[in-house]
Amino acid sequence: MFPRRLPTEPELIVRPIRASDKAALLDLFERLSARSRLRRFLAPKPSLSRREVAYLTEIDHRRHEALVAIAPDGTFVGVARYACEVGETTVADVAFAVADAWQGRGVGTGLARLLVQDARANGIERLHATTLPDNGPARKLLGRLGFGVCGIAGGVLDVDLDLAAADAGAADRRAA
């Protein structure tokens, strides 16, 4: 897949993550504050294990996709991913992380929109996200994309986006 640009930050290049991006992903993780890590992983996360880094970078780009936003200096400023559970092919969990210095500039929203496009193209029918109830930025981003609340339990908020229904609604609006 060819590199793309974010409409909100055109100097950033967006491309799928590669197995060779382990160091760049770890650098992004190190630039996330404890609060940003908590919001991304839903628990304190002081470090990533080798196994976790491999899982986050060695992906098939169909059932598990990750897009990275890259600054002109080559550093990662954000990552958006979806991943299907083992044996699943049409429902995927999504997650986003943006370096603290880049938050509030539309990087997460831009990555999320591209990720939803890629999920549709790869046959994903439903996206699911889990976030902390007090994570206002994530709730706002997910709401703008059309995710709706499907559950609240265990101190987290679950939201879903039915891509098939969203596609049908868009087709209906175009036909009208």
**pLDDT greater than 70 at residue 168:** no
Q: How far separated are the first and last CA of the chain, in Å rounded? A: 33
pLDDT in tens, 14-53: 999 999 999 999 999 999 999 999 999 999 999 999 999 9
**pLDDT attached to residue 173:** 44
| Residue 129: CB atoms within 10 Å | 24
pLDDT in tens, 68-93: 999 999 999 999 999 999 999 999 99
Supply the DSSP symbol for 88: -
Nearest to 34 by CA among 25, 24, 44: 44
**pLDDT attached to residue 167:** 57
Residue-averaged pLDDT of the chain: 91
Nearest to 25 by CA among 84, 68, 81: 68
**pLDDT greater than 50 at residue 174:** no
Residue 145 parent element (H or E): helix 136-145
**pLDDT attached to residue 171:** 44
Beta-carbon-side half-sphere exposure of residue 29 (alpha carbons within 13 Å):
17
**pLDDT attached to residue 74:** 96
| Residue 85: CB atoms within 10 Å | 11
Grade residue 1 by pLDDT with cuts at 50, 70 and 90. low
| Residue 140: CB atoms within 10 Å | 12
22 exposure class (CB count in 10 Å sphere: 0-12, 13-18, 19+): middle
**pLDDT greater than 80 at residue 137:** yes
Percent of the chain's residues with pLDDT above 70: 93
The residue ranges of every structural domain in the chain are 4-127
Q: Look up the CATH superfamily of 4-127.
A: Gcn5-related N-acetyltransferase (GNAT) (3.40.630.30)
